[in-house]
């Protein structure tokens, strides 16, 4: 029996008004839902290690099911989809990419894929579908498409599949739609050139792109009174899970200053202790990327660039470094710049505030710390506490 490659597949289904047309009996949406049910049933029967998430899009975009291998859950989520509004195709692809990135950060990540089911009729939204396809291609995410209706209106779907190396299925009836589902259900057969999840995740530059930023103490609450208590030192913080102390062994500072939390499981640690943990890990590609796995849940985390630099300097130095107490943050300029001027890689770096990746042509605010260079949406930049960069803690002044 042929070996299967487990996949994490996002079922991204169009629920706009045009999917109410009855050229597919009883209508396009119901025919699509039936095909996706069959796809999930057959795939999970052949490969129980695959998983599906479900996104529906019309005027609004909604994730109605996270990745699961439960056929009943998949059927239930598909049955809950209702018609309405226009088709925000680009935004739906953006959300699909976001939830795939979150899944790729987990240690048990599978090969990612998006299945887009639509008639190709969409309205212009903030996210250009073709730009989203370019982002997907850069993250090794293939977009397969099931097209419904006239061939002319589905050309955008073919372009999305071609751009990412995915498969394009043209259908003209409920029967041909079901045939496409059966075909896709069994196409995850391992071949000589089929990338595994390990192959996708071994590139250090790729790991750096998808790694999550750790959370500071003040990021865990929006309550201003709670923050005031934190600043006054009246809150009992959890101790670092690596050194088992409130005091940072590298800086002598309190947990409030250098403490961080895993965004996935909220395990606490000092950022310098986490960097030391990263240095001790055996995964070469992870160490080279400036990332590490959470000691508790193994979620992929980004080590701030400035912390990496400090550790490198200490390694090269022949003198014993002395502990220093907390100091005022360094001041750095910040500038507004078009994301297109920063190169293609900048598009894949998530904003430290909202964790969304950037769309082409967006104006962003860049941290002026040469060793940091964090990028923010303009509205997210306004949310920084005391104008301090979330990546390097430098105080930023927008020029």
- Per-residue model confidence (pLDDT) at position 147: 94
Task: Output the CA angle 101-19-116, nearest 5 degrees.
Answer: 25
144-190 pLDDT, tens digit each: 999 998 776 678 999 999 999 999 999 999 999 999 999 999 988 87
Helices 28-46 & 174-185 angle (0-180, nearest 10): 20
Q: What integer pLDDT is reported at residue 15 of this predicted model?
A: 94
The answer to whether 100 and 112 are in contact (CB under 8 A) is yes
Quick one: average pLDDT of 360-368?
A: 89
The residue among 277, 378, 276, 399 whose CA lies nearest residue 333 is: 399
Structure tokens at 326: 């907390």
Token pair for 280: 């001790």
Cβ within 8 Å of residue 23, ≥6 positions away = 149
Q: In the prediction, which pLDDT does 104 show?
A: 87
| pLDDT for residue 276 | 82
Residue 370: the pLDDT is 76
**What is the model's pLDDT at position 318?**
43
Quickly count: other Cβ atoms within 10 Å of residue 192's Cβ: 4
Encoded tokens for 26: 């009883």
Considering only 41-45, 119-123, 317-321, which range has the smallest mean pLDDT? 317-321
169-179 b/e with 16+ CB inside 10 Å = b?
bebeebebbbe
More confident residue, 200 or 97: 97
What is residue 229's three-state secondary structure? helix
Q: What integer pLDDT is reported at residue 281 of this predicted model?
A: 67
Lowest mean pLDDT segment, chosen from 70-74, 88-92, 177-181: 88-92
Q: b/e per residue, 274-313, with b = 16+ CB within 10 A?
A: bbbbbeeeeeeebbebbbbbbbeebbbbbbbbbbeebbee
| All residues at 6 or more sequence positions from 5 whose CB lies less than 8 Å from its CB, including other chains | 111, 188, 189, 190, 194, 196
- CA nearest neighbour of 331 among 399, 261, 246, 234: 399
pLDDT in the model for residue 219: 72
Q: Which CATH number fits domain 7-196: 3.40.50.300, 3.40.50.1240, 3.10.450.50, 3.40.50.410?
A: 3.40.50.410
> 80-84, 253-257, 362-366: lowest mean pLDDT where?
253-257
pLDDT value of residue 99 = 94
Q: How far apart are the first and last CA of the chain?
A: 63
pTM of the model: 0.69
- For the residues 298-304, what does the mean pLDDT come to? 85
Full DSSP string of 324-375: ----PPPEEEEEEEEGGGG-GGGGGSPPTTT-PPPPTT-EEEEE--TTT--E
Q: What is the CATH number of domain 202-327?
A: 3.30.40.10
Residue 284: pLDDT band (50, 70, 90) is: low
Q: How confident is the model at residue 193 (pLDDT cuts 50, 70, 90)?
A: low
Q: For residue 13, name the pLDDT band (cuts at 50, 70, 90).
A: very high
**What's the mean per-residue pLDDT of the chain?**
83
The DSSP result for 266-304, as a single string, is --EEEHHHHHHHHHH-S-HHHHHTTEEE-TTT--EEEPP
pLDDT above 50 for 76: yes
> pLDDT for 208-264, tens place per residue?
778 888 887 777 665 555 554 555 555 555 688 888 888 888 878 778 778 888 888
What are the structure tokens assigned to 180, written together? 């496409």
Is residue 348 left, alpha or beta, with left meaning phi > 0 and alpha meaning psi from -120 to 50? Answer: alpha
Rounded CA-CA distance 142/20 in Å is: 27
Domain ranges in the chain? 7-196, 202-327, 329-399
Task: Please report which confidence band the pLDDT of residue 320 belongs to, taking 50, 70 and 90 as the band edges.
Answer: very low
- Whether the predicted pLDDT of 323 surpasses 90: no
Q: Is the pLDDT of residue 298 over 80?
A: yes
Antiparallel, parallel or unpaired: β 7-14 and 291-293:
unpaired
Buried b (16+ CB within 10 A) or exposed e, 254-270: bbbbbbbbbbbeebbbb
Where does the pLDDT of residue 345 fall: very low under 50, low under 70, confident under 90, or very high at 90 and above?
low
Angle between helices 71-79 and 28-46 (to 10 degrees): 170
pLDDT for res 221? 60
Are 17 and 82 in contact, with CB atoms under 8 Å apart? no
- Alpha carbon distance 387, 377 (integer Å): 14
Helical residues (DSSP H) of the chain, grouped into ranges: 28-46, 71-79, 89-104, 129-138, 155-164, 174-185, 197-200, 204-210, 224-232, 255-258, 271-280, 284-288, 305-316, 378-381
Q: Which of 267, 263, 300, 269 shows the shortest CA–CA distance to 283?
A: 300
In DSSP terms, 376 is beta-bridged to: 365
Nearest to 197 by CA among 50, 67, 43: 50
């Amino acid at each position: 029996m042929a070996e299967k490659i487990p996949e994490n597949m996002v079922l991204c289904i169009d629920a706009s008004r045009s999917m109410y047309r009855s050229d597919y009996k009883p209508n396009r949406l119901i025919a699509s839902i039936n095909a996706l049910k069959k796809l999930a049933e057959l795939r999970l029967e052949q490969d129980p290690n695959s998983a599906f998430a479900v996104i529906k899009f019309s005027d609004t975009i909604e994730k109605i099911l996270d990745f699961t291998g439960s056929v009943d859950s998949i059927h239930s989520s598909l049955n809950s989809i209702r018609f309405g509004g226009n088709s925000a195709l680009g935004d739906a692809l953006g959300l699909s990419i976001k939830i795939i990135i979150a899944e790729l950060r987990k240690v048990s990540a599978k090969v990612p894929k998006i299945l887009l089911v639509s008639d190709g009729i969409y309205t212009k939204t903030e996210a250009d579908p073709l730009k989203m396809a370019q982002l997907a291609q850069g993250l090794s995410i293939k977009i397969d498409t099931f097209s419904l209706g006239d061939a002319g209106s589905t050309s955008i779907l073919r372009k999305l599949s071609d751009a990412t190396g995915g498969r394009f299925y043209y259908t003209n009836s409920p029967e041909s739609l079901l045939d496409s589902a059966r075909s896709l259900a069994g196409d995850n057969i391992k071949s000589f050139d089929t990338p595994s999840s390990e192959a996708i995740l071994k590139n250090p530059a790729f790991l750096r792109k998808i790694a999550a930023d750790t959370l500071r103490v003040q990021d865990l609450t929006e309550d201003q009174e709670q923050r005031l208590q934190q600043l006054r030192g009246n809150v009992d913080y959890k101790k670092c899970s690596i050194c088992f102390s409130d005091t940072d062994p590298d800086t002598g500072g309190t947990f409030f200053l250098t403490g961080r939390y895993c965004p996935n499981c909220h395990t606490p640690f000092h950022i310098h202790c986490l960097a030391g943990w990263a240095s001790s890990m055996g995964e070469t590609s992870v160490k080279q990327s400036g990332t590490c796995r959470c000691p508790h849940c193994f979620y992929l985390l980004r080590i701030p660039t400035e912390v990496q630099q400090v550790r490198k300097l200490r390694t090269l130095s022949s003198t014993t470094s002395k502990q220093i107490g907390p100091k005022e943050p360094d001041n750095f300029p910040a500038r507004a710049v078009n994301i297109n001027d920063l190169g293609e890689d900048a598009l894949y770096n998530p904003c430290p505030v909202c964790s969304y990746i950037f769309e082409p042509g967006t104006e962003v605010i860049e941290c002026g710390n040469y060793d940091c260079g964090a990028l923010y949406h303009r509205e997210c930049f306004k949310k920084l506490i005391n104008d301090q960069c979330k990546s390097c803690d430098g105080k930023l002044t927008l020029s």
